[in-house]
Amino acid sequence: MIFFRFLSILILCISSVFLIGFQQHWAWGLLLIGFAVTLLTDPKFRNHIGLIYAMITLLGLTHINTDVGFFHMLSMGIKLGLAVAIPYLITRKIYKSNVIQFPWKGHDCWGYKHWLYVLFTCVVAYLLIPYYLTSTGAYLNWSVELETSFILRLFAGTNGLGIWDELFFINTVFAIFLLFIPFGWANLAQAVLFSSFLYELGFTSWGWVMTFVFAIFQGNVYYRTESLSYVIMIHLLVDLILFLALIHAHYPQYVDIFVT
């Protein structure tokens, strides 16, 4: 039984990399095989991990990119919202389980060490993200126009996705994984799904390494603090640097706060 549990999660991670990250249509078959393996497990595992399989299917059918056009943002936002809402409602209303929670404050997460970690994350992001975007040309995966409506939508899009990342990959996927596998394996698995999504979104080239490590740290921070507000604050500060770095990469003459 344990073997089939790990095999199911392993296939889920591999299929997500190729289906969501690399957009390979053959990975649908691999995803189906993984779900079939899930059927060989116990009911509790099958029900909960089956939800993740279903949501990865939904993400696979979602046109994920950095387009900040109103209708695309609305369409993509609805599907991503469903990916968070459906597992929460099913686990609460049907499974009668509190596995998925959104603890806003958590415990003991605002000491000086936690603020130092926030500062450390911002410094690393400041040094790494602009270099990554310009050295790889990945900034071209985002279009930037110096028009008020566009800039506001870009800001809303980057921050909205940042919040969604935490709600789905940490509060939902990671929480479900923790029911069945040890912390280390659960954190690795959610980080694979996390970075696969962001690779398709635009973090191409070696960006997956950066997002994978970030996801590992976010999972570890959430596991220790159980604070949704803390991990979201960290993510939004990183997204703010990403937002400014994108404008700088496209229009360096207007945003001159990065060393190039």
**Nearest-angstrom CA–CA distance, 127 and 92:** 42
Given a cut of 80, whether residue 76 has pLDDT beyond it is yes
pLDDT in tens, 4-18: 999 999 999 999 999
Buried b / exposed e along 192-206 (16+ C-beta atoms within 10 A): bbbbbbbbbbbbbee
Flag the least confident range among 53-67, 162-176, 229-243, 245-259. Answer: 245-259
Task: Kindly state the tokens that stand for 68.
Answer: 């900040």
pLDDT of res. 1: 74
Given a cut of 60, whether residue 172 has pLDDT beyond it is yes
| Domain chopping of the chain, boundaries | 2-250
Q: What percent of the chain has pLDDT over 70?
A: 96
pLDDT in tens, 125-146: 999 999 999 999 999 999 999 9
Buried b / exposed e along 107-144 (16+ C-beta atoms within 10 A): eebeeeebeebbeebeebbbebbbebbbeeebbebbeb
Given a cut of 90, whether residue 174 has pLDDT beyond it is yes
Given a cut of 90, whether residue 86 has pLDDT beyond it is yes
pLDDT of res. 255: 60
How many CA atoms, within 13 angstroms, populate the side-chain half-sphere of residue 65?
Answer: 11
Is 242:173 a contact under the CB 8 Å cutoff? no
pLDDT of res. 188: 98
Given a cut of 60, whether residue 235 has pLDDT beyond it is yes
Q: Is the pTM of this model over 0.85?
A: yes
Buried b / exposed e along 8-30 (16+ C-beta atoms within 10 A): bbebbbbbbbbbbbeeeeebeeb
Residue whose structure tokens are 């940490």: 170
pLDDT grade for 192, boundaries at 50, 70 and 90: very high
In terms of average pLDDT, the best of 69-78, 187-196, 222-231 is 187-196
